[in-house]
């Protein structure tokens, strides 16, 4: 069918096109995957991931711009390293942000299966508060950490009140770079204008 060719050779080049209800395919694939030995593939993925993380950490430490002298700001990679040391092994981590969460995620990862939630590459910012509430309500015995970008936090900061009223404690960290930085990175070079990208260095902790 024509729909199976939509966007082909633009974003991807499919080897096999199947017009079928997705869950049926996923179920069948999961049955087949159990018969495949992925040990070598996983080993290579882990090696590549470690090399990438090591490179990123090195850049964070040697970058002359890693500190903002006017604000004494911490580099998000450094914050990710620090968080990685203190977030509990059984914690659920919620990532809701653009530039900040995308950067920290190079270092910080889920503690196990189903322990990391975020909007996804093409998802909608602002789900952090709701995700954190749901995670804590379903798993009250687990620590829940919410990593907010300063922009995305504006969508669901009110849920702090909900958490207090329902006695669902979480730990929230806001990466405050005073802007919609992920948007700014493209907008400024293309349009030479930072309109609607600039926020404030708000003292959220107070």
pLDDT, one tens digit per residue, over 5-48 is: 777 777 777 788 888 888 988 888 888 877 778 889 999 999 99
Query: 159 and 137 in contact (C-beta within 8 Å)?
Result: no
- Is residue 57 very low, low, confident or very high in pLDDT (cuts 50, 70, 90)? confident
Average pLDDT, the chain: 87
Between 160 and 35, name the one with better pLDDT. 160
- In Å, the largest CA–CA distance within the chain is 59
Token pair listed for 129: 């508060």
- Is residue 156 scored above 90 in pLDDT? yes
C-beta of residue 91 within 8 angstroms of C-beta of residue 142: yes
- pLDDT above 70 for 101: yes
Question: Which parts of 67-149 fold into alpha helices (H)?
Answer: 76-86, 99-104, 128-138
Residues 6+ apart with CB under 8 A from 99: 76, 149, 177, 181, 182, 185
Contacts 24+ apart (CB under 8 A), 118-124: 118/94
Calculate the alpha carbon distances from 173 to 93, 108, 164, 203 in Å: 11, 13, 16, 12
pTM of this structure = 0.75
How does residue 107 score in pLDDT terms, banded at 50, 70 and 90? confident
Of 84, 85, 78, residue with least CA distance to 100: 78
Between 197 and 124, residue with greater pLDDT: 197
Cα atoms in the 13 Å half-sphere on the side-chain side of 166? 14
Q: Smallest Cα–Cα separation from 130: which of 144, 141, 142?
A: 144
């Amino acid at each position: 069918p024509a729909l199976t060719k939509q966007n082909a050779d633009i974003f991807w080049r499919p080897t096999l096109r199947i017009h079928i209800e997705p869950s049926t395919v996923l179920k069948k694939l999961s049955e087949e995957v159990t018969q495949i030995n992925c040990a070598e593939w996983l080993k290579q993925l882990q090696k590549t991931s470690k090399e990438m993380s090591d490179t990123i950490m090195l850049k964070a430490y040697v970058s002359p711009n890693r500190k903002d002298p006017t604000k004494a700001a911490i580099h998000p990679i450094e914050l990710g390293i620090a968080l990685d040391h203190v977030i509990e092994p059984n914690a659920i981590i919620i990532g809701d942000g653009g530039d900040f969460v995308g950067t920290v995620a190079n270092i910080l990862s889920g503690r196990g299966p189903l322990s990391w939630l975020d909007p996804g590459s093409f998802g909608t910012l602002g789900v952090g508060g709701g995700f954190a509430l749901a995670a804590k309500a379903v798993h009250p015995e687990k620590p829940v950490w919410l990593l907010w970008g300063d922009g995305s936090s504006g969508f669901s900061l009110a849920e702090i009140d909900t958490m207090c009223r329902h006695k669902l404690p979480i730990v929230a960290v806001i990466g405050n770079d005073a802007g919609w930085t992920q948007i700014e990175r493209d907008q400024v070079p293309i349009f030479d204008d930072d309109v609607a990208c600039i926020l404030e260095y708000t003292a959220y902790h107070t």
